[in-house]
Structure 1
Amino acid sequence: MMMPAFNSAVLKARLSKLGDKQQLAFGALCCERLIPNYLMFQQDAGWGDNVPVRKALDCVWAYLHDQTPSSQEIKNATASCESAAPNSEDFASLYVTSAQDACFAVCSLLDYLFKNDVDRVVQVATYATDSVDLYVQEIEGMEPNDPQLEQKILAHRLMQRELTQQEADLKAIELAPSLSQEFLAQRKASWNNNGKSNLDLP
């Protein structure tokens, strides 16, 4: 059965019924699938630094594991992650937008640590699907004026896999009695893609 198209309003409604850490965990799991996209951009463009992006996401995981980072640590991580984001006008790399999405998604979660705004988590999931959307159009040579464009993107295996994983993660979080370290580790491991990103990049 094909997954329906991403719907931010539906996702927000479901996330809004969950606690802060549950919302954050869903966003962190989405971000894990985006980090390798930044690595591929870095290799392809010969520019960038994945370390601050990884460290920024690790701040979120630390919070989820009850090792709350200080406000200053969160601000520093945000600044470093933003600095690592490439300017799309400066690079011809196929992966530049995906790298931006990875940085901005992680920064959205760091912002959530200050504001507890569910829209920040919805934005993370949006970045994840947007990355796939653009990448699929590029690698498949899709015509932007094709009246079937959106349906073709939705039916693509990469988009279906991302949507399926988002649904699986959200459902598991909704049903879990608690966010134990074992549970979070299990959800991380549920992405059966041998460490590759949501774009199938190593």
Structure 2
Amino acid sequence: MDTFQIDIRTALGTLSKKGQLLFSAITCVHLYPNYEFFAKTFNWGSPQVIQQAIDEIFIILKEDNPYSARQVQDLIDAVDLVIPDTEDFPDIACSQALDAGTAVSYTLEYIKSQDLESVVNVAVCARDTVDMFIQVRDDFNSNDPLCESRIESDYLMVREKNRQELLIKQIAILKLNIVDDELIKSLLPRRPIIE
């Protein structure tokens, strides 16, 4: 296990269950444009299914209305059907769409299980999206011993880790009795995860 996973698990563990779900949902929104780009580029998948699942996650947050395990499983099944396989699309856009769809699936799993590991995995999906993008953008050789340190110091990776850290700090000080559109909008990232 890498230090990022250990650190993010510790930080996320300080949040309430609702705070953890909010972190995960906001991160899904942050990753969603990558799925949409992939679907348009390759004419495969269903942005509507991913968006509907994200919308349902926010409804759960806003209404504090527990969904049945069956309802959540139906959403997971629908999302899993539209997550691309990197064997079928050997392009970085596929990996990014995979991360976006998987993050939504992990978030839905969290609603069922309340297992912190699912939220940690959402954070890792976002980190991995940036990591892979940097490797491809800069044509890094993974055997280069400096590869990891170069990725870690890249402005996109620094920005994503800072985004996650700041989001956790913001959520930690909020009273989450009421989660509304205004609160959600205030937490959404202003810049895309990759550019």
The answer to whether TM tops 0.5 is: yes
After TM superposition, give the deviation of residue 113 of structure 1 in Å: 0.7
* Paired residues, number: 191
SS of the equivalent of 1:85 reads: coil
SS of the equivalent of 1:105 reads: helix
SS of the equivalent of 1:40 reads: helix
Q: State yes or no: 1:187 paired with 2:187.
A: yes
Deviation track 1:114-153 (CA, whole Å, cap 9, x = no partner) reads 1100010000000100011011100111111211101111
2:31 maps to which of 18, 28, 34: 34
Indicate the percent of aligned positions where both proteins have the same amino acid.
28
Deviation track 1:71-121 (CA, whole Å, cap 9, x = no partner) reads 333122111100001111111322111111111111101011111000100
| Distance (whole Å) between structure 1 residues aligned to residue 52 and residue 156 of structure 2 | 27
2:57 matched to which residue of 1? 60
SS of the equivalent of 1:34 reads: helix
2:162 matched to which residue of 1? 164
After TM superposition, give the deviation of residue 15 of structure 1 in Å: 1.9
Give the TM-score taking structure 1 as reference length.
Answer: 0.88
Q: State yes or no: 1:20 paired with 2:11.
A: no
Question: Hey, which bits of structure 1, 4+ residues long, moved more than 6 A?
Answer: none
Is the Cα–Cα contact under 8 Å of residues 62 and 68 in structure 1 kept in the other structure? no
After TM superposition, give the deviation of residue 177 of structure 1 in Å: 2.7
Letter of the structure 2 residue corresponding to residue 187 of structure 1:
L
1:112 matched to which residue of 2? 110
| Distance (whole Å) between structure 1 residues aligned to residue 10 and residue 155 of structure 2 | 26
Is the Cα–Cα contact under 8 Å of residues 26 and 169 in structure 1 kept in the other structure? yes
Deviation track 1:155-186 (CA, whole Å, cap 9, x = no partner) reads 11211111111011001011113353232221
| Distance (whole Å) between structure 2 residues aligned to residue 49 and residue 97 of structure 1 | 16
Q: Which runs of 5+ in 1 are unaligned?
A: none
| Distance (whole Å) between structure 1 residues aligned to residue 90 and residue 143 of structure 2 | 23
Considering only aligned residues, what root-mean-square deviation do their CA atoms show, in Å?
1.6
| Distance (whole Å) between structure 2 residues aligned to residue 156 and residue 118 of structure 1 | 28
Q: Which runs of 5+ in 2 are unaligned?
A: none
